[in-house]
Structure 1
Amino acid sequence: MLSIGQYSSGKRSPTFPGQDDFQGDIVTEREITDLSVFTGKKVLVAGFGKSALDMATFAVDQASEVHHLFRTPRWMLPFRILGVHYSRLLFCRMGTFLMPSWVQPTATEAFIHRKLGVLVRGNWRLVQSIVRFQKYLLGLGKSAVVKRRLASLTPKHDIVSDFRSASAMQPQMYLKHIAQERLLPHQGELQGFTKSGAVLADGHTIDCDLVVLSLGSGSPIFPFLPATYRSLLENEPDGVQLYRHLLHPDIPRLAFAGFNHGFMHVPAVEIGMLWLSAVLNDDLTLPGAGEMRQSMESVRQWKRDHVNFEPSRSCAVNTRFQQYLDVLLQDLGLNPYRKMPNILAELFSQYGPDDYVDIFEEYRAGRTQRSEILRTLALDT
């Protein structure tokens, strides 16, 4: 069992022209262990993932200046949407019903996406509009410069394509700091350095003496495995796609924990381990290797068609956690609707880890009552 997670390659820290002449410090966010490192500094944070947003926000109260540099803005998921915590909207069954995914594990969900696509698209357009509107409100009464800065943070692509392995959560003070001109966003590309700062691809310069590179991680690597296995796992630029996000049909006696990363990560890992134990105990029959490869490729291709690139795109279920867990539970002969028979709670109440606390006992009880061996469903995930 490998439990190394999807970020085993470490943080990306490319070398730039003029870097040796730069008189400040260049670090990644993993090297920052104390916020006092920002004190009195002119800080430049490069990147637009969750860590970059956090670093830029943290630096504001410590630094003399804070600049946030990014090539392409991503949709930031605010903690509150019209005053409601995002998890109450996304983590209820009704919210996940409307989440586009490579699999719709129930008949109701499949019907919604195949026959009521206009409803699904309309839902996410509404979410985008609300996020834009909340940003617009912060710009009311502000200068034209501030309004342009806020507008530069709105992506041109749709919000669903940004639900990848790690969604960009919007720190609560990030946009407020921009509206107050305490945090200065710059859309551009880091080209190199001078003695006193950073040079962008368009020729503009930013004076700084501390640069935080928050550019994400590379695809997972497995240097401890034989070369034949490494070639199976490391050949794709967007990471390793596994069958059920748990195992590879061409690598015997090896399974993976943590490559089913999502918003409900701990239950996903534990249910994944229960699924693997059923396989190892000959209580769950897998399809043939060819069928598993075909399933893996189907999921990978869906992600490539619908989710923006990142080196770990194939290694996660992210906001599709509900669909993923539903498939694993049905493979194990368990009911995925954990809040039933209360239909209102099932549809509108937030799902959490406590909804899955009884699955081990349910599985053991079901195994003693069954005479036949389980088979995985003909669903890709």
Structure 2
Amino acid sequence: MSSCEMEKEIAIVGAGISGLLACRHTMEKGFNPVVFEARNGIGGVWSSTIDSTKLQTPKNYYQFSDLAWPLSVTETFPDQSQVMDYIKSRVSELADTMHLPEEPTQKHLAENDDERMTENGEEPGNQQIQETEQNEVYQVDFVILCIGKFSDLPNIPHFPQGDGPEVFSGKVIHSMDYAAMNKIQAVEFIKDKRVTVVGSQKSALDIAAQVSKTNGVRHPCTLLFRRVHWSGSKNLVRLTFRNPNRFSELMIHKPQKGLILWWLVFLLSPLRWIFTKLVECYLKWIYPLKKYNMIPDYTFLKEIYSCMFTILPDRFYERVEDGSLILKRSQKLCFCTTGVIIDDEVAPLETDIVIFATGYKSDEKISNIFALNYFKKCITRSSTPFYRECIHPRIPHLAIIGYSESPATSFTTELRSKWLAHFLAGKFKLPVIKEMEEDAKRWKKCTKKYSGENYKGACVSVMLQIDCNDQLCRDMGCNHKRKKWFLSEIFSPYQPADYANV
């Protein structure tokens, strides 16, 4: 690495697992990044989550590539406290580079509008990180945003005047606020209350299960949702993570592959269909999905392609059976004084607390960091996805790590952190803007084909994880084949440990 590259000033915003990975791997390349974190500590969303939260992926897929989980953690899906202990075990070597304020501060990214990269890839100018409450400015050469997409800016539905929470006599919060409570506060908040949870993804299921466990049949929790999703058992997740390998990826079309690989996809596609139907039959067998009208209107594989598959909380349908958890499907919702009115029902659903587990405005959250409208539009209005799932072609002096979802987020994040560190060290150069945009569009078309109506713009599907990693390895100039012999290379699943020495 040249002395010029060694002198690059790098700022990392966020000290969750993505920020820690970006920090570690840039340090390994000789940089001294400065990490900014608005919270009082590290861990990101793991530092503030509901008590029952556990990993959604087997622990060997959610680990640092060179640091195995301690032997004391015997569970396949560790809980929040175990995950935090594991993250902290890696932090001591990074502590000196972090800026953790005593009080949260708002970060603001300012750039000069005439310093955008040109079409032939000229180097941009510096950027500024401003801590607005402390009025400090840090001028840097490259910024790595690691602020995640499941925090800070909640997505709460908009209601017409007179139909929103303002007319409700009870309490309305977002799942983010509920997760911020400690265990005792959370129990006291919901205890002996009629609680309605709005949503159908992981947070909604976890909160509804926890409320129903606390209040029982005397004050049953109601789960309101528009759409049903496939959710499964821990055993099914274990099976799913054994399946992704190079052989299974031969069943998926990928951009710019030859005719032979195209024919292989065609010949092997029945196996994909058989796997889907077997899983769906299994889920219908172990859960009373038909009885409660909980069969999704799309296939199980579309759930996987869209990074939306989750583990169902323990005893979920047992709580539905005993009446402590009530499932209600609704397309329209509005508030009244005593509760909520569902669809066109005359009688309201009386409730004391409404918890919106309706996700976050992740694009808006990132765009709000930028001072100039040009960069805001690059994030919120551009149809071009990120190159290599971390760099927008029009903002190549800034990377966003941990934004793209995958069934194993830390796995996806770590290899991109290594790739980014190689890029910053001058090991390779980015293509020109047009080439990056065309490549990103090809991958968008590919993933959209399989995800269908569930398509999300930032998702590395479990069925394409290895091929995406191969691209990164080729960019870095290292061997993308990480197994020791042919059969394991084809049929064994890839895990973070396979990339430990990249």
- TM-score clears 0.5: yes
Q: CA deviation at 1:25?
A: 1.0
Once the two structures are aligned, what percentage of the paired residues are identical? 20
2:200 to 34, 48, 56: 48
1:1-381 correspondence runs (5 A)? 1-7=144-150, 10-16=153-159, 17-32=163-178, 33=181, 34=183, 35-36=186-187, 37-63=189-215, 64-81=219-236, 86-94=237-245, 97=248, 103=254, 112-136=264-288, 148-149=291-292, 152-163=293-304, 164-203=306-345, 205-221=348-364, 222-225=367-370, 226-235=372-381, 241-307=385-451, 313-319=456-462, 320-341=464-485, 343-344=487-488, 347-348=491-492, 351-359=494-502
Change (3 A) 1:280 1:18: closer
Change (3 A) 1:101 1:245: farther
What SS does the aligned partner of 2:419 have? helix
Q: In 2, are the aligned partners of 1:13 and 1:213 still within 8 Å (CA)?
A: yes
Structure 2: distance between partners of 1:99 and 1:72: 31
Q: In 2, are the aligned partners of 1:267 and 1:353 still within 8 Å (CA)?
A: yes
Structure 2: distance between partners of 1:12 and 1:93: 32
**Gap regions ≥5 residues in structure 1:** 140-146, 360-381
Structure 1: distance between partners of 2:254 and 2:379: 23
Q: In 1, are the aligned partners of 2:247 and 2:491 still within 8 Å (CA)?
A: no
Structure 1: distance between partners of 2:387 and 2:458: 11
* Counterpart residue type for residue 294 of structure 1: E
Change (3 A) 1:322 1:171: farther
Ranked by relative contact order (alpha carbons within 8 Å, sequence separation 6 or more), the top structure is 1
Q: In 1, are the aligned partners of 2:204 and 2:357 still within 8 Å (CA)?
A: yes
Q: In 2, are the aligned partners of 1:24 and 1:196 still within 8 Å (CA)?
A: yes
Q: In 2, are the aligned partners of 1:267 and 1:356 still within 8 Å (CA)?
A: no
Q: CA deviation at 1:309?
A: 5.4
* Counterpart residue type for residue 223 of structure 1: N
- Deviation larger for 116-125 or 64-73: 116-125
Change (3 A) 1:252 1:355: closer
Q: In 2, are the aligned partners of 1:263 and 1:321 still within 8 Å (CA)?
A: no
Q: Count the aligned residue pairs.
A: 340
Q: CA deviation at 1:230?
A: 1.4
Q: In 1, are the aligned partners of 2:195 and 2:222 still within 8 Å (CA)?
A: yes
* Counterpart residue type for residue 22 of structure 1: F
Which residue of structure 1 lines up, in the alignment, with residue 92 of structure 2? Answer: none
Q: CA deviation at 1:41?
A: 1.1
Q: In 2, are the aligned partners of 1:45 and 1:212 still within 8 Å (CA)?
A: yes
* Counterpart residue type for residue 265 of structure 1: T
Which residue of structure 2 lines up, in the alignment, with residue 365 of structure 1? Answer: none
Structure 2: distance between partners of 1:242 and 1:90: 26
Q: In 1, are the aligned partners of 2:251 and 2:266 still within 8 Å (CA)?
A: no
Q: CA deviation at 1:196?
A: 1.7
Q: CA RMSD in A?
A: 3.0
* Counterpart residue type for residue 226 of structure 2: R
Q: In 2, are the aligned partners of 1:6 and 1:315 still within 8 Å (CA)?
A: no
Q: CA deviation at 1:181?
A: 2.6
Q: CA deviation at 1:190?
A: 4.1
Q: CA deviation at 1:253?
A: 1.5
What SS does the aligned partner of 1:23 have? coil
Structure 2: distance between partners of 1:104 and 1:127: 28
Task: Give the TM-score of the pair, scaled to structure 2.
Answer: 0.61
What SS does the aligned partner of 2:387 have? coil
CA-to-aligned-CA distance 1:217-264 (integer Å, 9 cap, x gap): 22423223221111111115xx87201102122224222211233233
Q: In 2, are the aligned partners of 1:240 and 1:314 still within 8 Å (CA)?
A: no
Q: CA deviation at 1:51?
A: 0.6
Change (3 A) 1:125 1:54: same
